[in-house]
């Protein structure tokens, strides 16, 4: 497992009973996590530090309960990168800190390429990978069907001091956009995708991970450059193995290079416990 252990502004303080106690800068949040199936708290006294807790509803969804005063939004840093954080619906904060392991990997690949690199970031959300790749010196095309998430990504680019860097922000259905890029003849050296388990595009297009991921990867190989650098698939879809993601890449990328797969996770402070958070499949040249 690749563990995101280099954070200073984020940490898991404890985990038990389906919840994790996290520090985001100076703000402490309790959020649900289905992987935490044990009941024993390691540090019971720390849970009183929480500014807010996300409570799931029996009818679906949920809401935040605020225990202490906290800002509506704030910033945290990962090394030289700055991200804007705020509690939002369905327990999210706008950032997945475990993805720092993939940011590090992409930054290293781009910097070591020693040439101009174009990256396509699909289902790009609030732009964690966009910020990382832009910071590394790549020109990035950021695609997401949500206008609000795309605006948030622009704020993250600005907060990280990267507003003068070449980033295209596209609000569109991913499949439709890639098909247009194929017709235009546009090519990319790196492709990142973080598709949801289920979603809808800008015009109501339905996306189901199990049904659509292989077809999308095949489609994206048509916009890979002649000298591609990497292809990364992230997933949080329950029941899918990381080996499946590597298999899909192997079936579609016919170039030489290294294939790999694995989990990403987060450490708990002052503990040997690790929280598994998601999976990835990678191809790199």
Residue 251: which residues within 8 A CB-CB, separation 6 or more?
A: 214
Residue 207 to residue 35: CA distance in whole angstroms:
25
Which stretches of 39-146 are DSSP H helices?
100-113, 128-136
The vertex-177 CA angle with 171 and 183, nearest 5°, equals 145
- Does the pLDDT of residue 207 top 90, yes or no? no
Mean pLDDT of the chain: 96
At 20-57, the pLDDT tens digits run: 999 999 999 999 999 999 999 999 999 999 999 999 88
Residues 261/278, Cβ–Cβ less than 8 Å: no
pTM tops 0.85? yes
Task: Look at residue 155 in the predicted model and tell me its pLDDT.
Answer: 98
pLDDT at 203: 74
pLDDT in tens, 221-260: 999 999 999 999 999 999 999 999 999 999 999 989 999 9
Q: 21, 47 in Cβ contact below 8 A?
A: yes
pLDDT at position 164, please? 97
Q: List Cβ neighbours of 115 (8 Å cut-off, separation of 6 or more).
A: none
pLDDT at residue number 201: 67
User: What pLDDT, in 10s, does the model give residues 88-113?
Assistant: 988 999 999 999 999 999 999 999 99
Helix extents (H) in the chain: 100-113, 128-136, 147-159, 174-184, 209-220, 242-252
Interhelix angle 100-113/128-136, rounded to 10 degrees, is: 30
Spatial separation of the C-alpha atoms in residues 158 and 261, rounded to whole Å: 32
Q: Tell me the per-residue pLDDT of 68-90, one tens digit each, with 9 for 90 and over.
A: 999 999 999 999 999 999 999 88
Residue 202 has pLDDT above 70, yes or no: no
Q: What domains can you pick out in the chain, each with its CATH number?
A: 2-85 (2.60.40.1180), 97-284 (3.40.50.150)
């Amino acid at each position: 497992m690749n563990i995101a252990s280099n954070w200073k502004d984020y940490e898991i303080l404890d985990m038990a009973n389906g919840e994790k106690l996290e520090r985001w800068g100076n703000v402490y949040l309790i959020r649900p996590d289905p992987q935490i199936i044990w009941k024993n708290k390691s540090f019971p006294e720390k849970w009183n530090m929480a500014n807010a807790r996300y409570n799931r509803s029996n009818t679906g969804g949920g809401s935040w309960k605020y225990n202490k005063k906290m800002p509506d939004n704030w910033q945290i840093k990962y090394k030289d990168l700055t991200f804007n954080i705020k509690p939002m619906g369905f327990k999210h904060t706008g950032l997945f800190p475990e993805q720092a392991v993939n940011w590090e990997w992409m930054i290293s690949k781009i910097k070591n390429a020693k040439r101009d690199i174009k990256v396509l970031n699909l289902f790009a959300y609030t732009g964690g990978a966009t910020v990382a790749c832009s910071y590394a010196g790549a020109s990035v095309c950021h695609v997401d069907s949500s206008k609000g998430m795309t605006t948030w990504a622009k704020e993250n680019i600005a907060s990280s001091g990267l507003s003068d860097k070449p980033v295209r922000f596209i609000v569109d259905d991913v499949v439709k956009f890639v098909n247009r890029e194929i017709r235009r003849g546009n090519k990319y050296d790196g492709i990142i995708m973080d598709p949801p388990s289920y979603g809808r595009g800008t015009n109501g297009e339905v996306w189901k991970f199990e049904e659509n991921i292989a077809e999308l990867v095949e489609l994206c190989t048509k916009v890979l450059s002649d000298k591609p650098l990497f292809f990364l698939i992230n997933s949080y879809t329950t029941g899918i193995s990381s080996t499946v993601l590597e298999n899909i890449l192997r079936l579609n990328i016919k170039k030489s290079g290294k294939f790999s797969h694995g989990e990403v996770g987060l450490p708990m402070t002052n503990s040997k416990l690790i929280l598994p958070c998601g999976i990835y499949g990678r191809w790199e040249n």
